[in-house]
Amino acid sequence: MRTLKSLFLSLTFVLLSLVACSNPEKPSATLLVHGGPIYTVDSTQTMVEAVATSGDTILFAGSLAEAERFKTAQTQIIDLKGKTMTPGLIEGHGHFMGLGYNELNLDLMNTTSYQEIVDAVAAEVEKVAPGEWITGRGWHQSKWDVMPTDTVHGFQTHYKLSEVSPDNPVYLRHASGHAGFANSKAMEIAGLEILSKDGIDKFQVEGGEVMRDELGRPTGIFNERAMTLITQHIPETTPEKDAKAFELAVAACHRNGITGFHDAGIGKGTIQLYDEMKTADKMKVRMYAMLTGWDKDLLNEWYEKGPMVDPDNLLTVRSVKLNCDGALGSRGAWLLESYTDRPGHFGHETLPMEFVKETSLNGLRNGFQVCSHAIGDRANQEILDRYEDAFKELPDLKSNHRFRIEHEQHLHPDHIPRFAELGVIPAMQAVHMSSDRPWAIDRLGEKRIKEGAYMWQALLKSGIPIVNGTDVPVEPLNPIASFYASVSRKTLKGTPEGGYEPDQKMTREQALRSYTLDAAYGAFEEDIKGSITAGKFADFTIYDQDIMKVAEDKLMDTKIAMTIFDGEVVYEKMD
């Protein structure tokens, strides 16, 4: 669907082109870029010598000689000097405010042991007042170099953490966001420190788990929906802190060459914040926001008023995010067969499938895309079933629905063709394979890994595009890491030789499309961004080396040299 903005851009391009051709003395480019490989992701001309823009719009992409017709004395010239340019990269699934808050709270993403977490919290205790909450995110027990001796179901217990923080409640989210780790003080505040025999039932949480030891004592691990037992007691943030986190997230996007962002699940307060930031001219990424499916009142409000497709294409709300299972790392992903390393455990259905069907029908009736989180094969199967039921029930409304499933880390082989058959878009974060594959085989076993895990090429060959990304702050925002994972199927340390299940590698062309044009398609925005095409927005990412040709073992050395948004340089790496 082309917006009024995109139609205006196209008409502007045609008129300016006619003027330039009829009067070459008066070209009108505000920016001209040349001097290095420019990959357009446009099938009519995959590479060009130069790009000319006017304001926020691409005027011309082609030869340098022709581009110079648009040059005036006021035109800004960017000589790439051998650097490489592509369309602006789009983060296809992330959590924008989580990105910003990761820079404000404890960032545990690089911790390699439980002791490092304890040490980080101990250092934070010295900085804050007694009674003040300490929060953070990023730990992942399956990525640690060494495990503590005292574990329950493969997770650490809270005792060492509680020893260093007796007067401060602590809550640390798992990297996946699907589990949390609380100390004794936090559990005391929540009334959960001791689980008596008489009180155990009240701690049974549908779609979640309070992890306990053999004596029935809570270990500090809260899985899936059980996390709310703790999080409901954490004080709300402040408007000032929200604004700071937003600005930090924008800056992080620019440093990483990101010009568009699919925000996977936000509530009323965040929408209000984004409106305020847009009004204040601080929305310097193109935000495609998904309404959180937890808030039925919010959904009903938006169903009544309909999608908001921003004519400025800075803040668009036209989709709903449903969280339907957990993560492999926390053994919350919903599986058809039990976990290899926890027999009898199948993960969690974190949202009733009846609500997926209801939301799918409401989405079709009211013009909203539905995007459902599903990592395990059972969750993917169940969601595809509910989508299909909705399409059959409302056949006249299903055209161009572009419903999505987010993650698809594990699929049953029988369900891979169903994505293309139903027109359901897989939004898959390739870097998850690099991070998770070494230990995911413990969860699923070799057969399930090889037949249905991270099946990128199988999905692409079936005829459906893939939307790439990082799921930040589950993984760092760095798109180079996800690009490298896409084409190598290796960990970020370069192992194993040849990659895991190498037949599922993407080509470099496919990987670039998944971060540009196919990501734009996943948001109904392929007519206005995602390729370097006349009439589209002037959003570009510039790299210090050619990501399409550099040797695979040098790909991870790539740095973002410059980010251009709306025709203006918003980031430039200092030498």
**Is residue 98 within 8 Å of residue 54, measured between CB atoms?**
no
pTM for the model stands at: 0.85
Tell me which residue has tokens 């007691």. Answer: 233
Show the 3-state SS of 260-284. EEEEEEECHHHHHHHHHHHHCCCCC
**pLDDT the model gives residue 237:** 84
Please work out, in degrees rounded to the nearest 5, the angle formed at the alpha carbon of residue 371 by the alpha carbons of 224 and 140.
35
**pLDDT the model gives residue 178:** 86
Structure tokens at 350: 């974190």
Show the 3-state SS of 384-446. HHHHHHHHHHCHHHCCCCCCEEEECCECCHHHHHHHHHHCCEEECCHHHHHHHHHHHHHHHHH
**pLDDT the model gives residue 104:** 85
CA R_g for the chain: 24
**Is residue 31 within 8 Å of residue 56, measured between CB atoms?**
no
Phi, psi (deg, nearest 5) at residue 222:
-120, 120
Residue type, 134: I
**Cross-strand pairs, 292:** 321
Report the C-alpha gap between 474 and 429 in whole angstroms: 10
**pLDDT the model gives residue 95:** 97
45: nearest Cα among 542, 567, 533, 546: 533
Instruction: Establish how many alpha carbons lie within 13 A of residue 138's alpha carbon, considering only the half-sphere containing its beta carbon.
Output: 24
The burial of 288, by beta-carbon neighbours within 10 Å (0-12 exposed, 13-18 middle, 19 or more buried), is given as: buried
Please name the residues in contact with 149: beta carbons below 8 A apart, sequence gap of 6 or more: none
**pLDDT the model gives residue 195:** 52
Q: Which domains does the chain have, with CATH numbers?
A: 1-88+530-575 (2.30.40.10), 108-231 (3.10.310.70)
**pLDDT the model gives residue 329:** 87
- Encode burial over 155-194: b for 16+ CB neighbours within 10 A, e otherwise: bbbbebbbebbeebbbbbbbbbbbbbbbbbbbbebbebbe
Report the C-alpha gap between 514 and 483 in whole angstroms: 9
| Dihedral sign from CA coordinates of 436, 442, 448, 451 | positive
Q: Which residue ranges in the chain fall short of pLDDT 70? A: 1-27, 193-204
Report the C-alpha gap between 382 and 369 in whole angstroms: 18
Please work out, in degrees rounded to the nearest 5, the angle formed at the alpha carbon of residue 176 by the alpha carbons of 407 and 477.
75
Report the C-alpha gap between 168 and 68 in whole angstroms: 63
Residue type, 84: T
